Structure formats: structure tokens, C-alpha cells
């Protein structure tokens, strides 16, 4: 029986979410929406996270209790990971959650072990893209796959966001009954007008609205991380700009690859073609500044950014990784290309530029697909049901 009150129709649960990073990426948006919606349903909600970034601020603005675990970070460090384990173990002991819902590999591995040791009734893990799908040496992939399997064993249920990664999970032994496929759900952002968005973005890149209005704007919102394949996008833009002088590319986001990308753009003489804006708060609100949305990722789960682009009726060019093909139907709601292929990416972007009527059709089709298939309410309903069935076993 869960802590709190139980009636014939209502189960009030104490839920603790843990996530490795407190920036504002797809996994963080998922935690924010879940925490906010579960609080609205009168559950007792708190969130532990690494660092003290924008996610923590937004949660606290919603009146959600947070705990900052400064030692919790993505990179492996025996000393820091041991400190993180001790802090998470102590937090679970103190909070006594009915539901421990873990996000991102580091938080999931440490949290699942600590949760088992503290005999938490329900340990749930959400996989935001398998790490063994990243571009790594085979030996590293095998080790990561082994620890991913261990995490699933420790958890009571593991949520996969895409069918492709759900099917990958089924290849692991002993976990068939421990996995669930629950796609992301999205609350459509409130978008700024085209002129308003372009004026704001234009100020960041030193271009006025009149000049911006003459451009075909190819844009993306992404963490500047090797997994996002942004070097391939920059290389593709070299060819695109030769064929279409009106095309520019705007990359919104920040991350560890920022300096490398700046240098690459400068060396390829693309400083008037490819722009890095840095991080923009509520970046999705400015999506209508773009004519085409692009995602050049090498690894994804089910990316929020494409769902947001769909809500903005933007045509999409994206790689065929993770759950992207489950959102974008090739040549019907966007164009799909192979990862790490700058030539194919350039060809797809040029195709979009050259076919404005088709761009509009693709954007409309993608919006319809996102609204129909990726409802936030449906996602929350399924996850709450999973909480209830595991917490009252």
C-alpha cells in the first residue's frame, strides 16, 4: 500500500524524480512536465538533480521541492559517483518515496541500486536514448550495454520512448516483463509570431528584420554535444550556401562543443552563413523564425525538438536515428537522411529550399501527426497508471 491516502478511485503517492543534469534538454523537459502534472493531480512531488541549472529554477517556480546533488554529473568519476550514491541513498532514506522515477543513465544506475537497498516499492527508469547507440568504440558499447541491463534488472519498470529502443531492450535477458513503451507527450508551446521571432533571433546574430526576411532560415535547437552531429550540419551548409546564397543556418544551444564549432565555422569561412546563438530561454517559442528545422543527431531517443517543430508546422530534415522515424514520415512530413552523411544532409536541405509548396505540406502533415500521436495528457495518464500498479503491488 502506498504512503498517503487511498480511496476507491484515488491513490495519493509520494514521488521522487532524479535526473543527472539540471540544464534544459529533452530529458529535463520530460521531468518538468511529469513533476508539474503529477503535482496538479495532488501527488507529493520532489526532484533531485545534478547541479543548479534552469530546470531547478523552473521547478521551484512551480512550487516543487528540489534537491541539488552537486557531485552528480554525466562523466564517470569513482570519487564523485560514490558521493552521489551516498547523497541519493540518504535522500531516499529521508524522503521514503512510494515512487522513485529515474532519468538519464548516471542517475538511473546509482538511483536504482540505492532504491533497491532502501526497499523502495516502485523504481521506474525512463530511457532517453540508449547510450550504447552512441558513436563509441565497441568495447565501451558492450560495457555500457551491460550496465544498462543491470539498471533494468534493479528497476521494477523501464520506460522506453520509441519502438526501436523498446525492441532493443527486448534483446536483453530477463526483462521482457519489466519494460513498457510510453512515447513522449507534448504540450504545444505558445509561439511568437514569425516577425517577432525573427527580430529577436536577428538581434542575436547581428541581422535586422528586413535582412532576415530575405533569408531561408534553416534552424535547430540542440545541446552542442558530439551526439547532435552538428559538425556534419556545418559541413553540409558549405554546399547548401554555394547552391542557395539566401540560406543561413542558426544553431540555438550551448554545450561542450561550442568552441570546436566556432573554430570549424571560422575555418570553413561560414561566419556569415552559420550562426551560434548560445542558449536561449524558452527557445521553442522562437521556432517560427525558421523556414526549415534540422536535426543532425547521431543518437536520439524520441526528441522533443522535433515534436515542438511539428507543433510549429515546420518541415523537418532529420537523421534516421532513435525514434525520429516514428515521428517523421520520410517524404510525407519531412525528409530523413543517414547520420554522419553531410552530402545527403546538404541534398535534403537544398530539396526543401527548392520546393516551398512541399515544405508547407510537410509542415502541416507533421503538425497533424504530433497532435494526434504525442499527447501530454495521454503520456501522463499512462505513467500515472504504471505508478499505481507498481506502488500497490
How many whole angstroms separate alpha carbon 169 and alpha carbon 163? 10
Residue 7: pLDDT band (50, 70, 90) is very low
Tell me the pLDDT tens digit for each residue of 266-293.
999 999 999 999 999 899 999 999 999 9
How many whole angstroms separate alpha carbon 81 and alpha carbon 352? 46
Confirm if 288 and 312 have CB atoms less than 8 A apart.
Answer: yes
Residue 3: pLDDT band (50, 70, 90) is low
What is the helix (H) or strand (E) element at residue 385, kind and residue range?
helix 376-391
What is the DSSP track for 55-103? HHHHHHHTT-EEEEETT--SS--HHHHHHHHHHHHHHHHHH--SEEEEE
How many whole angstroms separate alpha carbon 347 and alpha carbon 352? 9
φ/ψ of 224, rounded to 5, equals -80, 80
How many whole angstroms separate alpha carbon 217 and alpha carbon 319? 19
Residue 74: pLDDT band (50, 70, 90) is confident
How many whole angstroms separate alpha carbon 47 and alpha carbon 21? 12
Rg from Cα positions in the chain: 21
Q: Check pLDDT > 90 for residue 148.
A: yes
Judged by average pLDDT, the poorest of 4-13, 168-177, 382-391 is: 4-13
> First CA to last CA across the chain, in angstroms?
7
User: In which residue are the cell numbers 525528409 written?
Assistant: 335
How many whole angstroms separate alpha carbon 77 and alpha carbon 91? 21
Pairing state between β 99-103 and 179-181: unpaired
Average pLDDT over residues 8-33: 88
User: pTM of the entire structure?
Assistant: 0.88
Q: Which residues contact 343 (CB under 8 A, 6 or more apart)?
A: 236, 239
C-alpha angle 302-305-307 in degrees, rounded to nearest 5: 70
Joined together, the cell numbers standing for residue 154 give 534493479
Beta bridge partners of 186: 375
Tell me the pLDDT tens digit for each residue of 206-247.
999 999 999 999 999 999 999 999 999 999 999 999 999 999
Joined together, the cell numbers standing for residue 388 give 499505481
Residue 94: alpha-carbon gap to chain centroid: 30
Cα separation values, 358 from 195, 290, 317, 324, Å = 22, 16, 13, 20
141, 145, 148, 149: CA torsion to nearest 10: -170
Confirm if 35 and 5 have CB atoms less than 8 A apart.
Answer: no
Tell me the pLDDT tens digit for each residue of 104-113.
999 999 999 9
* pLDDT at residue 8, as a whole number: 44
Domains of the chain from N-terminus onward: 14-185+375-391 (3.40.50.2000), 194-373 (3.40.50.2000)
User: In which residue are the cell numbers 547532435 written?
Assistant: 228
Amino acid at each position: 500500500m502506498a504512503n498517503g491516502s487511498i480511496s476507491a478511485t484515488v491513490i495519493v503517492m509520494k514521488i521522487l524524480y532524479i535526473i543527472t543534469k539540471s540544464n534544459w534538454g529533452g530529458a529535463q523537459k520530460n521531468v518538468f512536465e511529469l513533476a508539474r502534472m503529477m503535482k496538479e493531480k495532488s501527488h507529493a512531488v520532489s526532484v533531485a538533480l545534478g547541479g543548479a541549472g534552469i530546470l531547478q529554477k523552473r521547478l521551484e517556480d512551480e512550487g516543487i521541492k528540489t534537491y541539488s546533488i552537486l557531485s552528480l554529473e554525466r562523466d564517470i568519476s569513482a570519487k564523485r559517483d560514490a558521493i552521489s550514491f551516498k547523497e541519493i541513498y540518504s535522500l531516499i532514506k529521508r524522503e521514503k518515496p512510494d515512487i522513485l522515477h529515474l532519468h538519464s543513465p548516471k542517475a538511473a544506475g546509482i538511483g536504482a541500486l540505492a532504491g533497491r537497498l532502501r526497499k523502495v516499492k516502485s523504481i521506474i527508469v525512463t530511457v532517453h536514448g540508449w547510450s550504447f547507440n552512441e558513436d563509441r568504440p565497441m568495447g565501451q558499447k558492450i560495457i555500457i550495454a551491460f550496465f544498462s541491463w543491470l539498471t533494468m534488472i534493479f528497476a521494477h519498470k523501464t520506460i522506453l520512448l520509441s519502438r526501436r529502443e523498446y525492441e532493443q531492450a527486448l534483446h536483453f535477458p530477463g526483462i521482457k516483463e519489466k519494460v513498457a513503451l510510453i512515447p513522449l507527450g507534448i504540450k504545444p508551446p505558445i509561439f511568437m509570431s514569425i516577425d517577432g521571432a525573427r527580430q529577436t533571433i536577428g538581434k542575436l546574430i547581428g541581422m535586422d528584420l528586413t535582412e532576415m526576411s530575405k533569408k531561408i532560415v534553416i534552424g535547430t535547437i540542440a545541446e552542442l554535444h558530439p551526439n547532435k552531429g552538428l559538425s556534419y550540419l556545418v559541413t553540409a551548409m558549405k554546399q547548401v550556401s554555394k547552391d542557395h546564397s539566401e540560406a543561413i543556418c542558426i544553431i540555438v544551444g550551448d554545450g561542450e562543443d561550442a568552441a570546436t564549432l566556432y573554430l570549424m565555422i571560422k575555418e570553413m569561412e561560414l561566419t556569415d552563413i552559420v550562426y551560434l546563438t548560445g542558449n536561449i530561454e524558452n527557445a521553442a517559442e522562437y521556432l517560427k523564425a525558421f523556414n526549415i528545422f534540422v536535426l543532425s543527431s547521431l543518437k536520439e531517443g524520441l526528441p522533443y525538438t522535433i515534436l515542438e517543430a511539428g507543433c510549429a508546422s515546420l518541415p523537418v530534415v532529420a537523421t534516421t536515428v532513435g525514434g525520429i522515424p516514428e515521428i517523421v514520415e520520410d517524404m510525407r512530413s519531412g525528409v530523413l537522411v543517414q547520420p554522419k552523411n553531410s552530402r545527403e544532409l546538404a541534398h535534403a536541405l537544398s530539396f526543401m529550399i527548392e520546393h516551398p509548396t512541399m515544405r508547407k505540406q510537410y509542415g502541416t502533415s507533421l503538425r497533424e501527426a504530433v497532435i494526434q500521436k504525442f499527447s501530454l495528457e495521454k503520456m501522463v495518464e499512462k505513467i500515472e497508471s504504471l505508478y499505481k500498479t507498481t506502488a500497490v503491488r
